[in-house]
Amino acid sequence: MATRISNDFVSKIMDGNAKLLVDEAQRFGKELADDRLAKGQIRGAFGTVRQIQASWVAQPDAATAQKQLRKVLLLKPRLAYQKAREPKVGPLADVLTDAIDLVAKADNADAQTLRFGYLVDLFEAILAYHTAAGGK
The 10s digit of each residue's pLDDT in 41-70 is 888 889 999 999 998 887 777 777 888 899
CA 134 to centroid of chain Cα atoms: 20
Task: Return the pLDDT at 40.
Answer: 86
Q: What is the pLDDT of residues 104-118, one digit of tens each?
A: 999 888 899 999 999
- State the average pLDDT over residues 77-100: 95
| High-pLDDT (> 70) share of the chain, % | 99
- Angle between helix axes 39-58 and 109-132 (nearest 10 degrees) is 150
Task: Return the pLDDT at 57.
Answer: 82
- How deeply is 13 buried, as exposed, middle or buried, from its count of CB atoms within 10 A (0-12, 13-18, 19+)? buried
Task: Return the pLDDT at 43.
Answer: 82
| High-pLDDT (> 90) share of the chain, % | 74
Task: Return the pLDDT at 114.
Answer: 92
Task: Report the alpha-carbon distance of residue 40 to residue 37 in Å, rounded.
Answer: 9
Q: Which residues, in sequence order, are CB contacts of 35 under 8 Å at separation 6+?
A: 1, 2, 88
Closest CA to 79 of 113, 34, 36, 49: 49
Q: Which residues, in sequence order, are CB contacts of 23 under 8 Å at separation 6+?
A: none
Q: What share of the chain is helix, strand, coil (3-state, %, to 5)?
A: 80, 0, 20
- The answer to whether 119 and 100 are in contact (CB under 8 A) is yes
Task: Return the pLDDT at 56.
Answer: 84
Task: Return the pLDDT at 83.
Answer: 93
Task: Return the pLDDT at 94.
Answer: 96
Task: Return the pLDDT at 42.
Answer: 84
